[in-house]
Amino acid sequence: MKNKQKFIAAAVQASPVFLNKSKTISKVIKLIGEASKNGAEIVVFPEAFIPTYPFWPKDIGTALGRKLILDAYTELFKNSVDVPGQDISKIGNAAKKSGVYVVIGVNEREGGTLYNTILYFGKDGTLIGKHRKLMSVDSEKCIWANGTVKDVTVVETELGKVGGLFCYEHHLTLAKYAMYLKGEQIHVGLWGGHGFAKNTMDFASKQYAFEGQTFVIISSMTINEKLIPDSFSLKKQTTWDYPGGSGIINPRGEYIAGPVYDKEEIVYAEIDTDQIIRAKAVIDCTGHFSRPDIFNLEIKE
């Protein structure tokens, strides 16, 4: 596949319509159209955007707390998506209509289990790849099951080889190197937008770009208490500090757009893939710089 040298990428920083799958998908479709009209050829959305990241406490040690947690989980589950399914088709149709690649984070249902999943859509609207989060962090384990080796995903596109990880998966060292080994050129980093992880998101994303000689498109959620309905059972038990931090970074580890905080915005930048060649002339992390005579990573496929 002959790849484009230059194209426009869009990192969406936005809030979901909290725990409302239908309205959030409508918002996604609108944002895809907006980004396309502004010249984007790949549009990236945040972690668990449909229907939301589970921002609330997942473990409250009382009988009342247990009920409130299960109430919140029930609403999350009911508003999550099946893959494939009608909800996924709507996003695919929007990608096809706009002629863009779309990457989005969703809560995915399979049976009675939820996964934190990245979906990759081609310009023709087909689902071309999927990544389930390999390792949840802290209390996320109360919500999502783990992915498997088949979720070490890099997809072929006209723009280059595209792969992605969530949040603290950027500290899953061997997973990062596995992505590099698969030839990743455009990396999508999907984040929940936590305020406490603001600095982590910044340094982890810059390091990923520099270490792997990739472009990194950071898409982060932003949300505040005003956007949460009073009917949500854990509204008052949650600290709503989610400023975002979306941006786009070149293979030298430098921002070429963003980061942006505390507002909804689509961040745009031109990707020039010749910069990958220039970066690898200095450090090729899976080539001359990797010392394959000493080190080897086995991906247990």
Residue 63 has pLDDT above 70, yes or no: no
pLDDT (tens digit, 9 = 90+) per residue, 27-47? 999 999 999 999 999 999 999
DSSP lists the bridge partners of residue 132 as 117
For position 61, what pLDDT does the model report?
A: 66
pLDDT (tens digit, 9 = 90+) per residue, 130-188? 999 999 988 899 999 999 999 999 999 999 999 999 999 999 999 999 999 999 999 99
Residue type, 284: D
How many percent of the chain have pLDDT more than 70?
98
For position 152, what pLDDT does the model report?
A: 95
Residue 224 has pLDDT above 60, yes or no: yes
pTM more than 0.85: yes
Confidence band, pLDDT 50/70/90 cuts, at residue 120: very high
Spatial separation of the C-alpha atoms in residues 223 and 121, rounded to whole Å: 25
Helix (H, G, I), strand (E, B) or coil at 180: helix
Q: Higher-confidence residue: 122 or 70?
A: 122
Q: Which residues are catalytic, by number?
A: 47, 133, 167
Cβ atoms of 44 and 11 within 8 Å: the answer is yes
Residue whose C-alpha is closest to residue 243's, from 205, 201, 195, 192? 195
Burial zone of 107 (CB within 10 Å; 0-12 exposed, 13-18 middle, 19+ buried): buried
Confidence band, pLDDT 50/70/90 cuts, at residue 283: very high
For each of the domains in the chain, give its residue range(s) and CATH number, in order of start. Answer: 6-282 (3.60.110.10)
Confidence band, pLDDT 50/70/90 cuts, at residue 125: very high
Query: DSSP secondary-structure letter at 109?
Result: E
In the structure encoding, which two tokens stand for residue 96, read together? 């096809």
- Which of 27-31, 64-68, 264-268 is predicted least confidently? 64-68
CA 253 to centroid of chain Cα atoms: 19
List phi, psi (to 5°) of 73. Answer: -60, -40
For position 2, what pLDDT does the model report?
A: 64
Q: Which helix (H) or strand (E) holds 22?
A: helix 21-37
Residue 1 has pLDDT above 60, yes or no: no
Residue 23 has pLDDT above 70, yes or no: yes
Confidence band, pLDDT 50/70/90 cuts, at residue 233: confident
Residue 211 has pLDDT above 90, yes or no: yes
| Average pLDDT of span 253-266 | 97
How many percent of the chain have pLDDT more than 90?
90
Neighbours of 186 (CB within 10 A): 27
Strand 40-44 and strand 6-13: the pairing is: parallel
For position 75, what pLDDT does the model report?
A: 96
* Cβ within 8 Å of residue 185, ≥6 positions away: 160, 161, 162, 214, 215, 273, 276
